[in-house]
Structure 1
């Protein structure tokens, strides 16, 4: 079975039981035993159990025939509630299972809760002694997992950066530059050290690296080179990333051309995403990486409850490993909550964003990504145009392969009045981040920059790209609604308005047009909201 994004489901067993579809919408699964049936399958080996085992756990006081009938009825109700995802639930004469390709379970995603008081399947009330026994065992296993995840001293992730080549000159030097750029991009987002072998063999007693990033440049006969990049987890020899691409000019590495920058950014992003799955679970940098990664997914949804959860995850990451990058992300989350009006009282959010950005800079003064993140906070919260531009320019100069740095420069140039420069910087950020799982973040930003630069068609293209990547993205939909209306495409504008009414509680066209506090400042300043009145 080929599972599409829309048909995949996410099952939450930490805290109250909940099931969401591929768009993040909560599915209405009623009945404690129906919920328990799905939870037991989700937590079972291979997500499969014999029918008789399930019947014994949920209907132990019933006779075999009645228990079997009850299971059939429960399966029917579950399939109905799952809707388009019904095929995820499989059953034959002997067993019942979930298709692992279509299911994500929070407890199995490497991130266990920080607070050991959180309860597995909190509040579920099945009232069957066999199920209660199973639940006690599962909760005990969770407590054991939490105990094993208690942190040890943080030593940082060790990344061995090397160039594989027989030529000791130019090719080797450029290969080393590239592998170090990938290592540096990783070290901006997690606590890490880079280790080089290019000056000779490692000294005796040197620690074994966690990750090895190697590059190889091979002349292809027409003046160009084949570039092969591979990153492996050294203790297990697992490949975390590999890519083969063509380089027409070796100088592209030194000038950070788009194709090279995209590869560097992509490699670092994919390696970081896999680190929690390969590093020892008792290392604080492992836990913090997993927590912060999950926090980014929550943050870039821009949804009220998800933003609150994102802040909590970054706070947990910082408690595990006091790296300033987590404070910088927390600062940005607070600012986003303020902009999105996610909380009623805005001033405390602003004050905390400012305080967090100062602490982030104190703890990580040399971290380029921290500079890129806090530049937005300085611009929005403090109105420090000169300071914002200085931070953003420094970030781009030191790491031209960072899509975050180019986005921060774009926003700084908007503040300083350089609209053409802002558009160019934003477009470059989008190209670098094209393969990122958070691609919609850059596309949405580019849509807003294009609006500021009076380029409605480019804004529409960027907004449409954002909603393709993130169908529930509120900011992108808001801007597309106004842009479609501006272009006279009222049918499209009306369709977007209907979508916003579903994904944004309290949304209305009247609020969008007439509420000055609604988060569409650039559209309002440009007078682009007036055409929407045709839909009122």
Structure 2
């Protein structure tokens, strides 16, 4: 008979065991199903996303196969629980245990003392490297030892910045400045190890080289990425430009090329991870999460938040918290329904903590700027943070984007438009081009460039079906152009993506997220008359 009332007992010290209130042993036979209970019992609120569980138990399988394996494990888990199966609760995205109906030995006051003589999950037969890494951390925590940290180099996440053939004079200085800018971006956004010189035993994943020339104010620069010890060509890019000085922030072509390098490095990281069975480290989790964030699909964004959290747990960097700020700002401003991850207090908390951890990181500064602007309406602080972000890394298009939005909020519409155009130019090869397109749509709308605004909104809407802002603006722009059939077509798409949408809300609700429309002449009572 159980000593804990009508609760299911989960014992994790020693061999894993599940015991019913009446004393019956309900421990499932399958190793992965046992691992599922261990993972849930050690999680906050006894809850985890399906994606997180799949990556811990089936990291060597593709997403569809891992999802199918999790479903099979859940079937076995329910069968083992029998009449207590309701304790295991699932949704399309999460799995959890009913917190009111389980007792877990690790939560007892004497768990630390008992852990000295009983091993956590003794006899575990799971060989998945992600699960073993998680279990090693748990065992180290319980024993009081610090787990070994896996370095980027150990995972093959290193890049050689080739400076082994320095060129004297302005050409060499320009190439060196370019490589410095790329290195700054990679250091901010990833945990890759930067190697500056050829080492006899080094085998970097990637190597980057750059060559520049200057002649009578005209210049050119070529950058190349190569992979592995055989230096297989991965990517190359060339720009030509008029060069009047040495300030990178004044040369959008060089900034764009530097950002192109970053995009191709991260794309290579993701490609290699999908092709191999190596551990999924913090950088890769964050890069996958960023791509999910900008799908603007609520379920994908919920998965992105979990991936950012996992990245931070593995490597507590401010940049990962900054992306969680960005996600919450987007969801709060866009008034997404569903999972509540947009509380202003949480946004401020994450932004403050991110600034403590990485006060000079341009992405952290950009996220803090957005938090100040869109959560606290502190436009002065927002602009100062945005300016610091641009100074920290002018090759980051998010820096220019948040500076442009801060100018827009201060009523400096023309300068806001110029800044948004620069953000779009630098980030035009990014998978998130629709974000920069929409930024330009906002500023073009406020400055009365309605045809230009329509072109940007059409481009953004074509790339990402779940992105609501371009649909809102296209509705008003098409109506203004008396293209009512197109306006109604876009409204139908918007009603599907945003069931609470109405023209009356867009025109009259002060909290509806269409501020640039309302500052222009587009969102007016005339719009209601045209489309009534």
Alignment partners' CA distance in 1, 2:509 and 2:329: 20
1:503–1:443 distance in 2 versus 1, CA, 3 Å: same
Match of 1:169 in 2: 169
Match of 2:208 in 1: 213
Alignment partners' CA distance in 1, 2:221 and 2:158: 24
Alignment partners' CA distance in 2, 1:310 and 1:332: 11
Alignment partners' CA distance in 1, 2:196 and 2:379: 39
Segment drifting more, 522-531 vs 373-382 = 522-531
Deviation at 1:155, TM superposition (A): 3.0
User: CA offsets, 1:382-421, max 9 Å, x none?
Assistant: 2222211111111212322221111011011123322211
1:448 and 2:396 are equivalent in the alignment: no
1:422 and 2:407 are equivalent in the alignment: no
Deviation at 1:436, TM superposition (A): 0.8
Alignment partners' CA distance in 1, 2:341 and 2:128: 41
Deviation at 1:277, TM superposition (A): 3.8
User: CA offsets, 1:27-60, max 9 Å, x none?
Assistant: xxxxxxxxxxxxxxxxxxxxxxxxxxxxxxxxxx
Alignment partners' CA distance in 1, 2:490 and 2:303: 27
Match of 1:120 in 2: 68
Secondary structure class of the residue paired with 1:518: coil
1:481 and 2:422 are equivalent in the alignment: no
Match of 1:17 in 2: none
Match of 1:326 in 2: 320
Number of aligned residue pairs: 407
Q: Which sections of structure 2, spanning at least 5 residues, go unmatched?
A: 1-49, 59-65, 76-123, 138-147
1:481–1:366 distance in 2 versus 1, CA, 3 Å: same
User: CA offsets, 1:82-103, max 9 Å, x none?
Assistant: xxxxxxxxxxxxxxxxxxxxxx
Mapping for residues 512-523 of structure 1, pairs under 5 Å: 512-523=506-517
Match of 1:13 in 2: none
Secondary structure class of the residue paired with 1:228: strand
After superposition, the CA RMSD in angstroms is: 3.5
Alignment partners' CA distance in 2, 1:145 and 1:454: 56
Q: Which sections of structure 1, spanning at least 5 residues, go unmatched?
A: 1-106, 128-139
Contact 1:314 1:327 in 2 (8 A): yes
Equivalent of residue 144 in structure 1, options 128, 139, 150: 128
Alignment partners' CA distance in 2, 1:320 and 1:282: 15
1:159 and 2:159 are equivalent in the alignment: yes
Alignment partners' CA distance in 1, 2:417 and 2:218: 31
Alignment partners' CA distance in 1, 2:126 and 2:408: 49
Alignment partners' CA distance in 2, 1:383 and 1:154: 41
Deviation at 1:211, TM superposition (A): 3.2
1:499–1:115 distance in 2 versus 1, CA, 3 Å: same
Contact 2:461 2:470 in 1 (8 A): yes
Deviation at 1:254, TM superposition (A): 4.0
1:312–1:334 distance in 2 versus 1, CA, 3 Å: same
Alignment partners' CA distance in 2, 1:459 and 1:218: 37
Segment drifting more, 478-487 vs 303-312 = 303-312
Equivalent of residue 459 in structure 1, options 436, 453, 458: 453
Mapping for residues 371-386 of structure 1, pairs under 5 Å: 371-386=365-380
Alignment partners' CA distance in 2, 1:161 and 1:426: 30
Secondary structure class of the residue paired with 1:420: helix
Secondary structure class of the residue paired with 2:168: coil
Alignment partners' CA distance in 2, 1:343 and 1:194: 42
Match of 1:48 in 2: none
Alignment partners' CA distance in 2, 1:113 and 1:239: 34
Alignment partners' CA distance in 2, 1:255 and 1:392: 14
Alignment partners' CA distance in 2, 1:404 and 1:301: 17
Deviation at 1:232, TM superposition (A): 2.7
Alignment partners' CA distance in 1, 2:430 and 2:341: 33
Alignment partners' CA distance in 2, 1:208 and 1:264: 23
1:412 and 2:410 are equivalent in the alignment: no
Contact 1:423 1:446 in 2 (8 A): yes
Deviation at 1:423, TM superposition (A): 1.0
Secondary structure class of the residue paired with 1:153: coil
Mapping for residues 215-230 of structure 1, pairs under 5 Å: 215-217=210-212, 224=218, 226-230=220-224
User: CA offsets, 1:321-366, max 9 Å, x none?
Assistant: 2111110000111121211222479796111111111111111112
Contact 1:228 1:242 in 2 (8 A): yes
Equivalent of residue 287 in structure 2, options 289, 293, 301: 293
Deviation at 1:437, TM superposition (A): 0.7
User: CA offsets, 1:206-245, max 9 Å, x none?
Assistant: x6544322112357x8975553211234456344432234
1:182 and 2:186 are equivalent in the alignment: no
1:269 and 2:263 are equivalent in the alignment: yes
Deviation at 1:443, TM superposition (A): 0.8
Secondary structure class of the residue paired with 2:149: coil
Contact 1:288 1:316 in 2 (8 A): yes
Deviation at 1:481, TM superposition (A): 0.7
What's the TM-score once normalised by structure 1's chain length?
0.67
Secondary structure class of the residue paired with 2:429: coil
What's the TM-score once normalised by structure 2's chain length?
0.68
Contact 1:266 1:436 in 2 (8 A): yes
User: CA offsets, 1:52-89, max 9 Å, x none?
Assistant: xxxxxxxxxxxxxxxxxxxxxxxxxxxxxxxxxxxxxx
Alignment partners' CA distance in 2, 1:490 and 1:402: 39
Contact 1:164 1:215 in 2 (8 A): no
1:158–1:438 distance in 2 versus 1, CA, 3 Å: same
